[in-house]
Amino acid sequence: DTAVSQTPKYLVTQMGNDKSIKCEQNLGHDTMYWYKQDSKKFLKIMFSYNNKELIINETVPNRFSPKSPDKAHLNLHINSLELGDSAVYFCASSPGEGPNTGELFFGEGSRLTVL
C-alpha cells in the first residue's frame, strides 16, 4: 500500500537512553516532516526536509537529530532521553508540485514513553 510508515509504533525506554524512530514514504513526495504531539494533543513541527536537505528546525534541542538518507526516508534519532520527550511523534510527507502541492500525509505515529 502507498503510505507513510513509521516504526516502531510504541517505544518505552529509560531516561538517558538513545533511541531512533524510522520513517519511510512511498508516495514519491519531495518533502518530509517530523511533528510532535504532546499530552494536550497539540501538534507542533520539529523538522522539515526537502529532497534530503534540512529546511526547518523549530528550536528543537540538539539531542534530536534527523537524518535523511534519501528523499523517501527521514529518521529521527534522540540522544539522552528526558521525561519531557514523552509524546507521540508523527512523520509526514507532502508533494512539491501538482494540484495537491503541500498536502500533508501522516504516518500512524510513534508513541514514546520515557520512564
Partner 1 sequence: KQEVTQIPAALSVPEGENLVLNCSFTDSAIYNLQWFRQDPGKGLTSLLLIQSSQREQTSGRLNASLDKSSGRSTLYIAASQPGDSATYLCAVRLIYSGGSNYKLTFGKGTLLTVNP
Binding stretches for partner 1 (CB under 8 A): 31, 33, 40-45, 48, 50, 55-56, 58, 90, 92, 99-109
Q: Minimum CB separation from partner 1 for residue 80, in Å? A: 26
Given CA atoms 68, 93, 85, 11 in this order, what sign does their dihedral have?
negative
Please say which residue, 41 or 84, places its beta carbon nearer to partner 1: 41
Q: Which residues of 66-105 are buried (b: 16+ CB within 10 A; e: fewer)?
A: bebeebbbbbbebeebeeebbbbbbbbbbbeeeeeeeeeb
What is the residue type of 3? Answer: A
Helix (H, G, I), strand (E, B) or coil at 48: strand
Please say which residue, 81 or 107, places its beta carbon nearer to partner 1: 107
Q: Minimum CB separation from partner 1 for residue 48, in Å? A: 4
Please say which residue, 18 or 53, places its beta carbon nearer to partner 1: 53
Q: Which of 28, 27, 69, 62 is nearest to 47 (CA)?
A: 62
Please say which residue, 35 or 79, places its beta carbon nearer to partner 1: 35
Q: Minimum CB separation from partner 1 for residue 16, in Å? A: 27
